[in-house]
Amino acid sequence: KGTMRVFKSLVLLFLLLVVRGSMVQLKNGGYEDIVIAINPELSENHNIIRNIQAMVKEASTYLFNATKQRFFFKAVKILIPLHWLPKPEYLSVKTESYDKADVIVANPYLKYGDDPYTLQYGGCGEKGRYIHFTPDFLLNDNLYNIYGSRGTKVFVHEWAHLRWGVFDEYNNDAPFYVLFLSYLPFRCSASVTGKYIVQSCTGNSCTTRECKSDEQTKLYEAGCKFVPEKTQNAPASIMYMQSLPSVVEFCDQSTHNEKATNLQNKMCNYHSTWEIIMNSTDFSNTSPINSASPPFETAFSLLQTKDRVVCLVLDVSGSMAANNRIKRLKQAAEIFLLQIIETGSWVGIVTFQSTAQIETYLQQIINENVRQDLTKYLPISAGGGTNICAGVHKGFEVKENIGENYSNLYGSEIVLLTDGEDGGMSSCLTEVKNSGSIIHTIALGPNAAPELEQFSNMTGGLRFYATDTVDSNSLIDAFSGISSGSGNISEQSIQLESTAQSVTVKQWMNGTVTVDSTVGNDTFFVVTWDRSTSPPDILLRDPKGKEYRTSNFTVSDLNLRTARLNIAGTAEVGDWYYWIQNKHTESQVISMIVTSRAASLAVPPVTVKALMNKDTNNFPNPMVIYAEVSQGFLPVLDATVMATVEPQTGSAVELQLLDDGSGADITKNDGVYSKYFTSFRGNGRYNLKVRVQGKDKTVRLRRRQSRALYVPGYIENGEIKMNAPRPEPSDDEIQAKLGSFNRVASGGSFVMENVPSGGITDVFPPCKIIDLEAQYEEDKIHLSWTAPGNDFDVGQADKYIIKMSESLLALRNTFEDTTSVNTSSLVPKPAGTKESFQFKSENVTIENGTIIYFAIRAIDNASLTSEVSNIAQAALFIPPKESSPDSTPNDDVINEGINILTIVLIVAGSIIAVSIAVSMFVCILHKKNRRGGPELRM
């Protein structure tokens, strides 16, 4: 018990230091261990390193002042690709990797794409995934005029997205809306001065002039842009126009404009960025530093990536004989050795029970023979106790044979698999922490040590959980998920299929696997079965009709339950059909696993990253499951994404992840598919697997959100100086045909705590509605939104409460006290369905300039209420009398309350006036975004 307590406190200490993926630490206001990784695709260029250093140094002082002497950048690690020439000052990487980096430097996928951005999945206050800078952004000083100084402006803007989960305070999609309503500045702060400019170009010659506005509507003409004065006094805000020299602050409560239609307001409940930063744990864990400048200059270390070194440390204790575990381990580890691990890597194998043994020292994978040889060392028998630390120690020794380059363990990886408990685990925790080695853990079966994942948490390793349910393929998926974190996507194995089912005697398992044009090299079709010692009947037909039969598959003498086919050359693109018949005398589980690698270096393959918002979750907080589907940095849209969550006990739960900008999915059409998960089956581990299917879908270019603002130009000494217009990709570049594809990815595991035993009463409210929109349709108000569910975004809510007010903050702060809209006729639809509701506003007197705000909450059948939705707004505007056309009626008509509206639709960039020239009401609606822009709806 004593050791357990020590263990737990050690674990707690380490946990505090570890942030999901990122290893950044905050000590006395200084951020340390920030990792900036250079993509291995980039050729050697030392200016990249130099400019990163200059950027962060500058940013440190700027951040320090912007956060009122609270935060600065203390220590940064720059990861240098393996192929750059070694230098004496380069140190070895330890547990850092490209995949876990906070900042990546990589080419944009399309030629126009130097906008720096931060990939954000989560809600307000949640950390982002990474910041992406292009080499051009870091090397081309001409971009200063567009984004502002890299260090003092852009890096801090992006850091705020990444670290504190704040959002942009500008909105490229609704500029005209805000231009029009002069009393409704979209800027934070509204004190930024400038002019509305329109630019027209013929060939290379451009002219600029101030915008004209329509006589009647007071709307600015199409193409109008806000161009700021270069010299001015506005100090805020970094999340709006970071490039302005005067900008040195985040917006705070006093400068924030909650009425602006931007993502910060929508996501952060109309609070300012500084309020969100003040709410962060970073803020509560620090205090201001009494100094005019950061107490330390930023220190940099340059770390160079090495060849991959992996040691399998495999449990062969007595319990591994149960549930066919040792045989399944053989099948799964063989897939890792023959198909997954990248050529050029070094691999060793260790087994452990009460003691540990080196089965083979490291061997470099230079050809197929080495792979085959390694499989001979996989264990086939089990017996004895469990001593995990003994296994880890031996794993550390296994690299002794490869000499000086590996004089330490830095950057090496251990794949640690165990199915048992071990009271002595804490004895090697500190050693593991200090080793510089990354430990990936695979917990097998229900009794694997509960503390196992601490090894991966401390070292930034992956964590998997495999059940004993054979037809979930979870052990195979775990081994398939351990690919290199180097960022070298073209070398990595990609899982196209992993499916299994119990097949009765003489029955068939049939299916289709699509090989798409982005993959096809080094393609393997693997069939496994769990009982007979001879293979089932296999027929596989490629898209051209070529057939492969059981005799074409290889079955190793050492593993009589796997048949493997390696397709020579590049596999045919299209649908591959298979038919497998169980010839055994009893039913058995048969599975099909297909892996492949990129078809060419030039085209990035479609990849899937499955992840969760937390590694460990406390009931009743919901989990959020994400799948990022992309080709290079391009989001892949319109795919069918199914997640399977398999608990320790009970049956697996399947759910569809959506990219529809509702519920858990904060951004529509960004290739990040999301869903809440609340179907908890008890405490303990849960395993996540995601299947993605595309059917003749297209991949579409979209700019990422959370990027630094592209300034159209400046006014300097009264003179308008425009920047080159933002390069816009052509339609061909926007729409890229991708064809059909299949992907499967393991999302690792998470642990649930405090789930009540026995039946669970409903504790989950409907999720917050984040896509409420309001429109006027003649004399009616039309609201639309996506239905939430009974439990977050699953099931069906019971009823809605809709409120309206002329005060946005009243809706946010005192929702219950605002004017109710009669919703007695409104019955919620199932989660994910589009809702539409029209009503006549009878309780509001419409006057010139009236803005009406709407918000909604959903209630489930257990009377649990969702949070207040985003706040939708509709503005009414009556043009001043002098600009009214003579023929139209005057004030009297308004006073009589004639309710026919002149409707002006603003379809980003163009103004369509639908004139019903009776009244002088103008109702401004902001409609669908233009193509290419992020779909933002306020």
> Rule CB under 5 A: is residue 936 a binding residue for Ca ion?
no
Q: For Ca ion, which is the closer residue by CB, 760 or 846? A: 760
Pick 879 or 934: Cβ nearer Ca ion: 934
- x/- mask, Ca ion, residues 838-877, rule CB under 5 A, reads ----------------------x-----------------
Residue of 762, 806, 867, 935 interacting with Ca ion (CB under 5 A): 762
Query: Which C-beta is closer to Ca ion: that of 217 or that of 796?
Result: 796
- Which residue number, 453 or 659, has a Cβ lying nearer to Ca ion? 659
Least distance between Ca ion and beta carbon 790 (Å): 4
Distance separating alpha carbons of residues 468 and 332, to the nearest angstrom:
13
Choose the stretch contacting Ca ion; rule: CB under 5 A; options: 161-169, 468-476, 532-540, 651-659.
Answer: 651-659
Query: ∠427-429-434 over CA atoms, to 5°?
Result: 125
Nearest to 876 by CA among 849, 844, 858: 849
Q: Identify which of residues 60 and 870 has a Cβ nearer to Ca ion in the complex.
A: 870
Least distance (Å) from Ca ion to the CB of residue 500? 30
How near is the Cβ of 706 to Ca ion at its closest, in Å?
13
Q: Is 672 in the site for Ca ion (CB under 5 A)?
A: yes
Burial (CB < 10 A; 0-12, 13-18, 19+), residue 182, is exposed
Q: Which one, 481 or 622, has the nearer CB to Ca ion?
A: 622
Nearer to Ca ion among residue 15 and residue 760 (C-beta): 760
Chosen residue from 413, 665, 793, 835 binding Ca ion by CB under 5 A: 665
Distance CA(548)–CA(555), nearest Å, equals: 14
Cα 118 → chain centroid: 10
Q: What is the DSSP letter of 541?
A: E
Minimum distance of Ca ion from residue 253's CB (angstroms)? 30
DSSP calls for 21-57 = S---EEETTEEE-EEEEE-TTSPP-HHHHHHHHHHHH
Told to check if 667 binds Ca ion by CB under 5 A, we report: yes
Least distance to Ca ion, CB of residue 619, Å: 14
Burial of 587 (0-12, 13-18, 19+ CB in 10 A): middle
Scanning the structure block, which residue is given the tokens 């990422």? 704
Query: Is 644 in a helix, a strand, or coil?
Result: strand
Contacts of residue 673, Cβ cutoff 8 Å, sequence gap at least 6: 626, 627, 628, 629, 639, 641, 657, 658, 659, 665
- Cα→Cα distances 892→881, 889, 897, 918, Å: 12, 7, 9, 12
For residue 297, the one-letter residue type is: E
The CA distance from 174 to 929, in Å, is: 8
Site residue total, Ca ion (CB under 5 A): 10
Q: CB of residue 832 vs Ca ion: minimum separation in angstroms? A: 13
Tokens 């500058």: give the residue: 58
Does 613 bind Ca ion (CB under 5 A)? Our answer is: no
Rounded Cα distance between 220 and 224, Å, is: 7
Stretch of residues binding Ca ion (CB under 5 A), selected from 23-31, 591-599, 655-663, 712-720: 655-663
Pair of tokens at residue 150: 């890299």
What is the Cα–Cα distance from 501 to 591, expressed in whole angstroms? 6
Quick one: which of 177, 764, 815, 877 contacts Ca ion (CB under 5 A)? 764
For residues 30 and 622, which CB has a smaller minimum distance to Ca ion in the complex? 622
Write down the least CB distance from residue 660 to Ca ion, Å: 7
CB-nearer residue toward Ca ion: 411 or 765: 765
Out of 375, 437, 790, 796, the only residue in the binding site for Ca ion (CB under 5 A) is 790
Strand partners, 197: 210, 225
Backbone angles phi, psi at 5, to 5 degrees: -65, -45
Interaction residues for Ca ion, span 409-428 (CB under 5 A): none
Count CB atoms within 10 A of the CB of residue 785. Answer: 25
659 near Ca ion (CB under 5 A): yes
The helix (H) or strand (E) run that includes residue 811 is helix 808-813
Q: Is 670 in the site for Ca ion (CB under 5 A)?
A: yes
Q: Which amino acid is at 417?
A: L
Q: Which stretch binds Ca ion (CB under 5 A): 88-96, 313-321, 762-770, 833-841?
A: 762-770
Q: Which of these segments, 508-516, 585-593, 610-618, 787-795, binds Ca ion (CB under 5 A)?
A: 787-795
Amino acid at 551: S
- Catalytic-role residue among 96, 158, 249, 646: 158
229 vs 791 by CB, closer to Ca ion: 791
Q: Is 158 annotated as catalytic?
A: yes
Give least dist CB 611 to Ca ion, A: 13
Does position 771 interact with Ca ion (CB under 5 A)? The reply is no
Residues 182, 211: contact at Cβ < 8 Å? no
Helix/strand/coil for 501: strand
Residue 669 beta carbon to Ca ion: minimum distance, rounded to whole angstroms: 7
Measured at the CA of 762, the angle between CA 760 and CA 768, to 5 degrees, comes to 140
Q: How far is CA 632 from CA 36, 133, 691, 699, in A?
A: 19, 14, 19, 11
- 161, exposed or middle or buried, with CB in 10 Å at 0-12, 13-18, 19+? buried
Whether 173 and 929 have beta carbons less than 8 Å apart is answered as: yes
CA–chain centroid gap for 251, Å, is: 26
Q: Which stretch binds Ca ion (CB under 5 A): 99-107, 495-503, 524-532, 663-671?
A: 663-671
744 to 278, 328, 572, 609, 695: CA distances (angstroms): 40, 19, 19, 9, 15
**Helix (H) or strand (E) run with residue 5 in it:** helix 2-17
- Least distance from Ca ion to the Cβ atom of residue 670, Å: 5
- Taking the complex as a whole, how short is the minimal distance between the CB of residue 575 and Ca ion, in angstroms? 28
> Does 793 contact Ca ion by CB under 5 A?
no
Q: How many Å apart are CA 286 and CA 863, to the nearest integer?
A: 40
Closest CA to 324 of 161, 177, 532: 532
- One of 477, 791, 793, 835 touching Ca ion (CB under 5 A): 791
Of residues 782 and 829, the one with the C-beta less far from Ca ion: 829
Tokens 């642990």 belong to 751
* φ, ψ of residue 332 in degrees (nearest 5): -75, -45
Q: Which two tokens stand for residue 628?
A: 């990022």
Q: How far is the CB of 763 from Ca ion (least distance, A)?
A: 7
Name the segment binding Ca ion (CB under 5 A); options: 360-368, 380-388, 484-492, 764-772.
Answer: 764-772
Q: Is 159 helix (H, G, I), strand (E, B) or coil?
A: helix
Q: Which stretch binds Ca ion (CB under 5 A): 607-615, 639-647, 761-769, 890-898?
A: 761-769
**For helices 156-164 and 46-66, what crossing angle results, to 10°?**
70
Q: Which is nearer to Ca ion, 676 or 764 (CB)?
A: 764
Please check whether residue 668 is in contact with residue 928, taking contact to mean a CB–CB distance below 8 angstroms: no
Whichever of 462 and 745 has its CB closer to Ca ion, that residue is 745
Options 67-75, 360-368, 535-543, 661-669: segment touching Ca ion (CB under 5 A):
661-669
Binding segment (CB under 5 A) for Ca ion, from list 122-130, 614-622, 643-651, 660-668: 660-668
Kindly state whether residue 767 participates in binding Ca ion, applying the rule CB under 5 A: no
Q: How far is the CB of 771 from Ca ion (least distance, A)?
A: 12
Phi and psi at 831, nearest 5°, equal -50, 140
Q: Which residues are catalytic?
A: 158
- Interface residues with Ca ion (CB under 5 A) are 659, 665, 667, 670, 672, 762, 764, 790-791, 860
